[in-house]
Amino acid sequence: MHERLSFYIKRDSALHHLNPLTKLTLVFGLVLISFLSPWYWTPHTLLMLVIIPLSFIGKVNREFFRAFLRLILPAASFLFLMQAFFQPIGGHVIFKIWFLDITQESLMFAFRNAIRIIVMVSSFTLFLLTTHPSELMSDLTRRGLPGQFAYVIISTLQILPQMQAKAQTIISAQRSRGLDTQSSFFRRVGSLGPLVGPLVFGSLVEVEERAIAIEARGFTSTHTKTSLYDIPDTNLDRTIRWILIALVILVIALKIWLS
């Protein structure tokens, strides 16, 4: 049973040992570079030469590819098809389907956009696979993120699976009372009430007691917060971060210079 929503896989790898902020910088760096670079083949190169190798370095390649095939590829493919077929760009028509003209320009455009999205999502996935949420939040809090934000994020990650389990129970219960996901439109709309009501009200009543409980543990205390764990930040981390920032600036400069 998943008690928490977390991609994190515990392994002993170079990526796992990196400071969370470094990995976060890596993600944003990859995304910015792939979106801003003037060179057409940037996203594809980043995917092949950076992201996929990193998944091996991080020893999470199997999970990464599973997520890739299950989540990322279908979403990107749908996007690719939509853009290739419905973006009227350019005039070099390669073939026609029904009333749609498929141009080479559309294909190229769609291909790059799809790969850009893949770069974005897969780098985030890699990040999540190699970084424990607690670790990330501890580090960010140490650097100045308000403790309340860290609380909200981790609490959400733990509440979500519970809510989904609750929803499953309610759906099953309603099914045994005749809920049918194939029935008429109006009946489906009507069934929204009995599904949503118990779920929502059941979760809201907890809010007051939980607020009291965390207040009783100093949630709104104005003391400087300390942290149970020490998250190391090495010279390697700092170097990587600076290189990434420099690369992003370089790409932005190139884009401005070339346009």
Partner 1 sequence: MRETAMQRQKTSSWLNIGSNFNTMTWVLIPVAIAINIAIGQIVVLLKLPVFLDSIGTVLVAALCGPWAGAVTGALSNTIWGLAIDPNALPWWPVAFFIGLVAGLCANAGLFKSWWKVVVTGFLVALTAATISTPIAVYLYGGITASGSSFITAYLLQTGQGVLQAVFSTSFLVEPVDKITTCMLAFAIVQGLSKRFVARFPRPENVEAEGGANQTQLYIAVGVVVLLVLFAAFMLRNVLGG
Partner 2 sequence: MNLQNVTYKYPLTETPALQNISLQVNDGEFVAIIGPNGAGKSTLCYTLAGFVPHFFKGELTGLVEVAGIESHNSSLSEWVLNVGLAFQNPFNQISGAKYTVFEELAFGLENIGIPREEMKTRVEDAMKLTGISDLAERSPYSLSGGQQQRVALTSILVMQPKVLVLDEPTSQMDPIGTREVFGVIRRMAERGMTVILVEHKVEWIAQFADRVIALKDGQIFLDGTPSEVLTSPLLQENGFGISRYTSVARKAIEMGLWKKDRLPITLDEAVEGFSLLNTDETSS
Residue 54 · residue 124 · CB < 8 Å? no
Residue 65 binds: one of partner 2, partner 1, none (C-beta under 5 to 8 A by kind): none
- Cβ proximity to partner 1: between 5 and 231 the closer is 5
Near partner 1 by CB under 8 A, which window of 12-20, 39-47, 72-80, 245-253? Answer: 72-80
- Counting contacts by CB under 8 A, is residue 120 touching partner 1? yes
| From partner 2, partner 1, none, interface partner of 217 (C-beta below 5 to 8 A by class) | partner 2
Q: Which is nearer to partner 2, 52 or 154 (CB)?
A: 154
Annotate 155-176 with b (16+ C-beta within 10 A) or e (fewer).
Answer: eeeeeeeeeeeeeeebeeeeee
Structure tokens at 143: 């650097």
Segment lying near partner 1 (by CB under 8 A), choices 18-26, 54-62, 136-144, 211-219? 211-219
- CA–CA distances in Å: residue 174 to residues 38, 64, 188: 54, 36, 12
Q: Could you give the CA distance from residue 219 to residue 27 in angstroms, rounded to a whole number?
A: 31
The alpha carbon dihedral of 13, 56, 37, 67 has a sign of negative
Closer to partner 1 by CB, 198 or 233: give it: 198
H-helix or E-strand spanning residue 35: helix 20-36
Considering only residues 8 to 67 of the shown chain, the ones binding partner 1 according to CB under 8 A are none
Enumerate residues 196-225 that contact partner 2 by CB under 8 A: 206, 209-225
Which residues, other chains included, contact 189 with Cβ-Cβ below 8 Å and sequence gap of 6+? none
Task: Find the distance separating the first CA and the last CA of the chain, reported in whole Å.
Answer: 53
44: which residues sit within 8 A by CB, 6+ positions away? 112, 115
Annotate each residue in 114-133 with x if it binds partner 2 (CB under 8 A) or - if it does not, as one string. ------------------xx
Stretch that binds partner 1, among 51-59, 90-98, 195-203, 225-233 (CB under 8 A): 195-203
Helices 147-176 and 133-142 pack at an angle, to 10 degrees, of 150
Nearby residues of 95 by Cβ (< 8 Å), 6 or more positions away: 102
CB of 118 to partner 2, least distance (A): 30
Residues that bind partner 1 (CB under 8 A): 5, 7, 71-72, 75, 78-79, 82-83, 85-89, 99, 109, 113, 117, 120-121, 124-125, 128, 148, 151-153, 155-157, 159-160, 162-164, 166-167, 171, 181, 185, 188-189, 191-192, 195-196, 199-201, 203-208, 210-211, 214-215, 219-220
Residues that bind partner 2 (CB under 8 A): 3-4, 132-134, 147, 150-151, 154-155, 158-159, 162, 206, 209-228, 230
